[in-house]
Amino acid sequence: MQPIIIIGSGMAGYTLAREYRKLNQEQPLIMICADDGASYAKPTLSNALASNKNPTQIALADATKMATQLNMQIHTHAWVEAIDTITHTLRYVKDQQHVELEFSQLVFAVGANPIRLAISGDGSDEMFVINSLSDYQKFRKSLDQQHTQRIAILGAGLIGCEFANDLHQAGHHTTVIDLASQPLGRLLPAHVAEAFKHQLQHVDIRFILETTVERISKIDTHYAITLANGHSIEADAVICAIGLQPNIDLAQRAGLHTSRGIITNSRMQTNLDGIYALGDCAEVNGLLLPYVMPLMQQARALAKTLAGTHTHVHYPAMPVAVKTPVAPLTVLPVPQNVTVNWETEYLEDGLIAKAFDNTNTLRGFALLGATAAKQRLSLTKLVPDLIPAQV
């Protein structure tokens, strides 16, 4: 019996393995990953300080424990170098040894890579890019050793704002820099973004918008950051959090169709039989949703398909909870290419903003503040499914 092979040991890969084992205990499963295979939830990295979590407490289990729990082989620190989609064979490298495996079905759960800015200066190579537990461990070690206080964050998106909040709550001074005119530009309309920014600024989280970083120079133990607008600031550490790009290189080399991500249909299947993708690397029916709830929906559906029951993924309305406790925010983004009008109710501690299309159907919302958050469930029920359930 040829194994099912999963490439990647992130939340997508492990969630799929768990869901599959609920349906089939006997089918051989193999996971191949470039890291140490520790199981952890990546979203916890951006609020670990406020949660009083030491980096050693973030991992839920190591690869050995996961292999036992899920009755699977896990090959760690291994890099897939070639996939033959005709013979269903895969070749990977581990400890300078080339190993070839056959597979019955193959799943790409390879996630996304951080976008790295090309910035001049002798300090640019020392920017932290936090996209894994090992990245985060290096960052926390630096914080502890250097007694860092001033932290500059490049990127006012979801991750940048969450790290700014977390570091602020731990007593650090944070400055968020972005070329956009507002934080959370891909999630919020301008008036909600302004209210969100105001609440973060109220606790001394600083925003420098509509400019970018041109140079990072190291001066003793800190950095001078030169901005395109002619100004400069100083920081003890710099985090680059300007976004992620789906990891599609291996898929392209294997002949899979890609766009922004690895293109799949609603059964998570690529253009090649027996080869699937899920998680941050997967573009499902044209949708690229790098959040936990879509990942869970994908894993449940794909597990059934791999077990023999072809199943379409179902995307209900899935709000995103932004982990910024100083400005509690829940967002249900409006689907792309849908024109809406926003109606906003202002509250003492925030606002409720609802997006209606031309048929007066609710298509998204933003809830800012603890009072507004209470409307999450009732409003979510009113929004049409993003991908309807199929029989």
CA dihedral 157, 279, 116, 220 (to 10 degrees): 80
Every domain of the chain with CATH number 3.30.390.120 lies at: 328-380
* Residue 39 CB coordination number (10 Å): 23
From first to last of its 391 residues, what are the pLDDT tens digits of the chain?
899 999 999 999 999 999 999 999 999 999 999 999 999 999 999 999 988 888 999 999 999 999 999 999 999 999 999 999 999 999 999 999 999 999 999 999 999 999 988 899 999 999 999 999 999 999 999 888 777 799 999 999 999 999 999 999 999 999 999 999 999 999 999 999 999 999 999 999 999 999 999 999 999 889 999 999 999 999 999 999 999 999 999 999 999 999 999 999 999 999 999 999 999 999 999 999 999 999 999 999 999 999 999 999 999 999 999 999 999 999 999 998 899 999 999 999 999 999 999 999 999 999 999 999 999 999 999 999 998 888 6
295 vs 129, 176, 278, 314, CA distance in Å?
23, 28, 7, 11
For domain 116-240, is the CATH number 1.10.357.10? Answer: no
Question: What tens digit of pLDDT does each residue of 137-151 get?
Answer: 999 998 887 777 999
Helix intervals (H) in the chain? 11-21, 55-58, 63-70, 133-146, 158-169, 190-202, 249-253, 292-306, 370-373, 376-380
Task: Give Cα 350 distance to the centre of its chain.
Answer: 26
Question: What tens digit of pLDDT does each residue of 264-286 get?
Answer: 999 999 999 999 999 999 999 99
| Prediction pTM value | 0.95
Tokens encoding 71 = 């009755």
Amino acid code (one letter) for 203: V
Residues with Cβ within 8 Å of residue 258, at least 6 apart in sequence? 248, 251, 252, 283
Question: How far is the C-alpha of 132 from the C-alpha of 181, rounded, in Å?
Answer: 28
The distance in angstroms from the start CA to the end CA of the chain is 29
* Residue 284 CB coordination number (10 Å): 25
Every domain of the chain with CATH number 3.50.50.60 lies at: 4-112+244-306, 116-240
Amino acid code (one letter) for 340: V
Write down the residue that tokens 């925003």 correspond to: 207
Provide the pLDDT for residue 205.
98
Q: Answer yes or no: are the C-beta atoms of 367 and 376 closer than 8 Å.
A: yes
* Number of alpha carbons in the 13 Å side-chain half-sphere of residue 341: 6
Question: What tens digit of pLDDT does each residue of 16-57 get?
Answer: 999 999 999 999 999 999 999 999 999 999 999 988 888 999
Which residues are paired to 366 by β-bridges?
A: 331, 353
Q: Apex CA 87: angle with CA 86 and CA 93, to 5°?
A: 110
Provide the pLDDT for residue 390.
80
Question: What tens digit of pLDDT does each residue of 303-333 get?
Answer: 999 999 999 999 999 999 999 999 999 999 9
**What CATH number is given for 4-112+244-306 in this structure?**
3.50.50.60
Question: How far is the C-alpha of 304 from the C-alpha of 46, rounded, in Å?
Answer: 32
Query: What CATH class is the domain 328-380?
Result: alpha beta
Of all residues in the chain, what percent carry a pLDDT higher than 70? Answer: 100
Question: How far is the C-alpha of 144 from the C-alpha of 19, rounded, in Å?
Answer: 38
Question: How far is the C-alpha of 102 from the C-alpha of 5, rounded, in Å?
Answer: 9
